[in-house]
Amino acid sequence: MKSHFLAAAIVMISVSAQAEPEAALIPIDRTVVRFFSRDGDGIDHPNYITEHIVAFEARLVELEQESFGRPFDASTFHLPVPQRAAIRSSIDTHIAETLVVALPMQSPPSSAVISQRVAWMRKSLAESVGSEAALQQAAAAEGIGPDDIDALVYRETLAAIYIDHHSTPIFDIPIDQLRAAFASYSDRFKKTDFTAVRDTFSRWLARQRLRAAEMAFFQQARSRVHVSIITDR
């Protein structure tokens, strides 16, 4: 992905709230990223990301960085403005997950298992940004509805299932690995007992593993992926 493409996307997202002339038509949303893999028939079936989705997912990246290990306080909560690094990360993650989900998987899980995993990932998403209230505020700020959140969680879940099956444990991390990781984040959990936050920490660590695996995959696939930033206004 060319750096000037990303810069253009960042500028477009940051100015999207500028006032329009009173008589002008205000678009509900627009496409800002187009991408496809050169493998298979990807070139004939490109994928698109809209401006509001990029902004929403970038807000989630910022919230995850601010919220981890800290209790949610509604009285002091504020939505962060997505910065360049968060926008880059959100675009890369969206592309990586889309590509991973398209990969064939041996012995795919049943619909019942997928539903359980979706619920698990949905809970981990809310926890990662501080709370369900924080997630909903981020969504409302970008005009994101329940269907868009469900689509994000479903895509994320399918990517996690693939990586869990073929690469790195995501959903059932061994207890010794959990304890070792927890100890390395002791600065955020100075007065917290591991057993008291085991489930929550497991979900957080799973998200970190998922992101790392996705980015490793994306780096390997980058030469086969064509990404365009759509700059027409």
Nearest Cα to 34, choosing from 51, 45, 43, 47? 47
User: What is the tally of structural domains in the chain?
Assistant: 1
Predicted local confidence at residue 107, as pLDDT: 86
Tens of pLDDT, residue by residue over 182-230, are: 988 766 666 678 888 899 899 999 999 999 999 999 999 988 899 998 8
Residue 122 Cα to chain centre, angstroms:
12
Residue 14 in this model has a pLDDT that exceeds 80: no
pLDDT at position 157, please? 98
Rounded to whole angstroms, the Cα distance separating 71 from 79 reads 16
- How far apart CA 127 and CA 148 sit, in angstroms, is 18
Predicted confidence (pLDDT) per residue in 97-128, tens digit: 999 999 988 888 999 999 999 999 999 999 99
Q: Which two tokens stand for residue 162?
A: 């693939």
Per-residue pLDDT at 18: 42
* C-alpha torsion 207→211→216→221, nearest 10: 130
For residue range 94-103, list pLDDT tens digits in order: 999 999 999 9
Contacts of residue 39, Cβ cutoff 8 Å, sequence gap at least 6? 224
CATH of the domain at 28: 1.10.4030
Q: Cβ(122)–Cβ(160) under 8 Å? A: no
- pLDDT for the residue numbered 191: 67
Q: Where are the beta strands (DSSP E) in the chain?
A: 31-37, 47-50, 225-229
Q: Among 32-41, 70-79, 154-163, 187-196, which is the least confidently predicted range? A: 70-79
For residues 155 and 184, the model is more confident at 155
Task: Answer yes or no: is pLDDT of 82 > 70.
Answer: yes
Q: What is the DSSP letter of 49?
A: E
Spatial distance between the Cα atoms of 179 and 160, rounded to a whole number of angstroms: 21
Q: What is the pLDDT of residue 53?
A: 96
- Give the integer Cα–Cα distance in Å for 170 and 207: 8
**pTM score of the predicted model:** 0.82
Residue 15 is part of which domain span?
3-229
Q: pLDDT over 70 for what percent of the chain?
A: 79
